[in-house]
Amino acid sequence: MNNTIKQAITILKNGGIIIFPTDTAFGIGCRIDDKKAVDRLFEIRERPRTQPTPILVSSIDQILPYLDSPSDIVRHFMKTYWPGALTIITPCKKDTMYSPIRGGGETIGIRMPDHIDMLAVIAAVGVPILGPSANIHGRSTPYIFEDLDPELTKLVDFVLPGACKEKQASTVVDCTVHPYHIVRQGSVILENAPITLCIDSSNVHETAVSIVFGNEKKTITFTSDDHTSQHVLPLIESLLLKYNRTFQDVAAIDVCTGPGSFTGLRVGAAIGKMLGWLLGVPVNGKSADAKFFLNYGEDRWEEK
């Protein structure tokens, strides 16, 4: 770790404000748990305290204590696109987050920058830091060192040298609505909405799997005179292939918990838990009358 990075860490730990490079643009920030530093940052940037400011983290675990029940989609975006240029808007625990950071509201914007120096700095500070662009409110965003405003640099405690590799704003996605809403299209392209995989093996003679994304549900079933739960995995693979999806698109798994066949339910639960562990996504038990397990749809296989 070079001396400039050590200096940046020391200043942030002691309540100072620094300007720094990220993967997208130059940012300006302080630790989020120092109210005086946060107030000073808003004053320096001339930013209205009713407008929230983004937060940068070095790991998913670092931000979780501040979030209010992060959704499956939020966790999926974190796992898939972090570190990277995706800012996620999600509800926070109001008592853990100083009001100006959340603009007086109940949500925050969070991101893990894909920049090795800043990840090291944030990790060493031990708490997330604020990370708005390094400009006075309303002025141009600096993407290279030479674009930094001298009026601003003289007001901070340190400027960490470096370069921004993307030189483009982050994509901002609002995960407080369903389906999610892209507030600003930046360098990250969200091509496929994350999906929920639903497994229903409660019926001895019919097994169904579904994928749910946005307001759409696609289902495929297999029917036979014998137990059909052994066909769960082939059904999942066929359904994903048909709709040009992969297991990496799965953000959560819902498994039918009955009532129904004991053997079938056990097989479905085992497969759901296995996939959840392999993919690192939550597995939820749902009763047979849950909306995801009703009205299977038109894709139906029959064993001849």
Note whether 277 and 200 are same-domain residues: yes
pLDDT-derived band at 296 (thresholds 50, 70, 90) equals very low
- Residue 16 counted as domain residue: yes
For residues 242 and 211, the answer to whether their CB atoms sit within 8 Å is: no
- Asked if residue 277 and residue 149 are part of one domain, the reply reads no
Give this prediction's pTM. 0.72
User: What is the predicted pLDDT for the residue at 301?
Assistant: 35
255-282 average pLDDT score? 88
Tokens matching residue 248: 């990496």
Q: Are 123 and 59 in contact (CB under 8 A)?
A: yes
* Cβ-proximal residues to 282 (8 Å cutoff; 6+ apart), any chain: 72, 75, 252, 253, 276
Cβ neighbours of residue 79 closer than 8 Å, sequence gap 6 or more: 60, 280, 281
H or E stretch covering 242? helix 232-242
Lowest-confidence segment of 46-50, 149-153, 163-167, 199-203 by average pLDDT: 199-203
Mean pLDDT, residues 49-65 taken together = 97
Indicate if the pLDDT at residue 291 is higher than 90: no
Structure confidence at residue 226 as a pLDDT band (50, 70, 90): low
**11 lies in the same domain as 148:** yes
C-alpha to C-alpha distance for 66 and 49, rounded to whole angstroms: 20
Q: Helices 232-242 and 262-279, interaxial angle, to 10°?
A: 50
pLDDT score of 300 more than 60: no
| The pLDDT value given to residue 192 | 65
224 and 244 share one domain: yes
Task: Provide the residue range defining the domain that includes 274.
Answer: 195-298
Q: How many domains does the chain have?
A: 2
Query: pLDDT > 90: what percent of the chain?
Result: 60
Task: Report if residue 304 sits inside a domain.
Answer: no
Amino acid at 262: F
Average pLDDT over residues 215-230: 75
> For residue 189, is it within any domain?
no
What is the pairing mode between strands 26-29 and 18-21? antiparallel
Q: What is the model's pLDDT at position 58?
A: 98
190 found inside a domain: no
Give the three-class secondary structure for 227: coil
> Which of the listed residues 184, 204, 235 is the one where a domain comes to its end?
184
Specify whether 251 is located in the same domain as 128. no
Mean of the pLDDT values across residues 241-258? 86
Looking at the fold, whether 68 and 147 belong to one and the same domain comes out as yes
- The pLDDT tens digits for 103-152 are 999 999 999 999 999 999 999 999 999 999 999 998 999 999 999 999 99
Regarding whether 204 and 180 lie in a shared domain, the answer is: no
Average pLDDT of the residues in 180-184? 86
What's the mean pLDDT in 244-254?
A: 85
* Residue 303 falls inside a structural domain: no
156 and 116 in one domain?
A: yes
Q: Which CATH number characterizes residue 283's domain?
A: 3.30.420.40
Same domain as 172, residue 83: yes
Yes or no: say if 67 and 91 are a contact pair by the CB < 8 Å rule.
yes
Q: Quick check: 41 and 30 in contact, CB under 8 A?
A: yes
Tell me the HSE value of 261 on the side-chain side, using a 13 A CA sphere.
16
In the chain, what percentage of residues exceed pLDDT 70? 91
Q: How much is the mean pLDDT over the chain? A: 89
- Per the model's pLDDT, the better-predicted residue between 90 and 230 turns out to be 90
